Structure 1
Amino acid sequence: MSELLAIAGLDCSYGEVQVLHGIGLALAKGEVLCLLGRNGAGKTTTLKAIMGLIPATAGSIRLNGRELTGLPAHEVPKAGVAYVPQGRRLFAEMTVAENIEIGLMARGKGKATRDMVLGLFPRLAERLNQRSGTLSGGEQQMLAMARALCLEPEVLLLDEPTEGLMPSMIEKIRETVSKLRGLGVSTILVEQRVEAVLAVADRVAFIENGRNRETMTAAALRADPAAVKRYVGVG
């Protein structure tokens, strides 16, 4: 596998408490990698470490061979990594259009990028003048993803994007991730819904107590569903 993003020996701590222990992940261009594990396993911390929001105490994070470890957090999106956190973090008082404009400014993108993003989320194009805080939960998730994609990232990090959404919206998010794969965007997805994982992921990495335990293809996971019970605690 040709690695776009390579993470090796990643350690992170919150104060005196070490929470990641030698995490190693590899991501190819256009690949969807899902992180699965119990609550508190270290999945979100891994995403935050990639974004420079939590400093690594050891290890390496490379994008196209460029070392990201140690970069200030505001430089990581400029390097080509976008992050949609749990809770979305939209500017609720701003309109859909204004939230998208902020995304475009981060890497100096313009109308072509805006049109591409709105093409992925036609529902947002109908609501450009609506305040984002008045959107439905699914629409807010779409806007958070749209704003991140305004960076034209090579890697997109999604933290539980389907949490609390209706099945129809979950399907829209899944379709979008699949479309992004076709556009060559690589995605790391933290997701608890096993059926959603199997519908969209190429590979699944199980994280337990801040450590990699096993990485397998989605096809292998379908054939061995007991792996989910081992690491996540559900069948």
Structure 2
Amino acid sequence: MADALTIAKLDCFYGETQILYGLDLSLREGEVHCLLGRNGAGKTTLLKAIMGLVPSRTGSIRLGDVELTGLPPHEVPRAGVAYVPQGRRLFAEMTVAENIEIGLYARKRSRDAREAVLDLFPILRERLRQQSGTLSGGEQQMLAMARALCLEPRVLLLDEPTEGLMPSMIAKIRETVAKLRARGVSTILVEQRVDAVLPVADRVSFIENGRVRETVEVDRLRDDQELVKRYVGVS
């Protein structure tokens, strides 16, 4: 299976503090690849580096045949990568419809893209005139994903999408990620909850101290809970 995204020997810094050390990672076409690790391991930094929000000093990030390293952040979504950051970061005073319009405008997508994301999240169709800041946490997460998906990305980056959500909303997020995989979207999913990872992941990479220590098929993770204890500290 071909790789949608290939990261090789990536070094990233905040100021003079190094966060990622020669990190290597591959995301296959149509795969859900989960990143697990303790807080501060470098998971969010990796997503930001892919988006050009944290500059890399050395290494390569390739989307298919396109080199993303060095692109300004506004060019990365146009290349085909969408990012839903931790905390959603919606425009709270704007309506659901206006937040979605921002996603459409960012890559000059048509109304067909708008209808496609509303088909994925029917409840948002009922909330189009509602201010996004008044939505529930789960609805806000759906809106953040919908806005990103308006870009019609090849690769979707999700940072802690189930954080603080009730079980029914977590199930909906998992269902959506599975639907996107069926449509050929490749996803990198950062999670702390192992139970949220197991039903949807194809592979899992454990990140520790800014390095990928181990990458396994999800079936191995189900069979070997010691892996989780070793890298995350919980079972």
TM surpasses 0.5: yes
| Cα root mean square deviation, aligned | 0.5
Q: Distance in 2 between matches of 1:218 and 1:163?
A: 21
Q: Does 1:145 align with 2:145?
A: yes
Tell me, in whole angstroms, the C-alpha distance in 1 between the residues paired with 2:118 and 2:132.
15
Correspondence for 1:13: 13
TM-score for the superposition, normalised by structure 1: 0.99
For residue 8 of structure 1, report the CA deviation from its aligned partner: 0.4
Corresponding residue for 1:49? 49
Residue identity matched to 1:82: A
Alpha-carbon distance between aligned partners in 2 of 1:216 and 1:28, rounded to the nearest angstrom: 13
3-state SS of 2:227 partner: helix
Q: CA deviation at 1:29?
A: 1.3
Equivalences for 1:1-235 in 2 at 5 Å? 1-235=1-235
Q: Deviations over 1:185-234 (max 9, x none)?
A: 00000001101100100000000000110000100111111100000001
Deviations 1:156-197 (A, max 9, x none): 000000000000000000000000000100000000110110
| Moved segments of 4+, more than 2 Å | none
Please report the TM-score for the alignment, with normalisation by the length of structure 2.
Answer: 0.99
Q: What do residues 79-115 of structure 1 show as CA deviations (whole Å, max 9, x unaligned)?
A: 0000000010100000000000000001110111011
In 2: Cα distance, 1:96 partner to 1:102 partner? 10
- Which consecutive unaligned segments of at least 5 residues does structure 2 have? none
Q: 1:64 deviation in Å? A: 1.1
CA distance in 2 between counterparts of 1:112 and 1:15 reads 42
Q: Distance in 2 between matches of 1:169 and 1:4?
A: 28
Aligned residues: 235
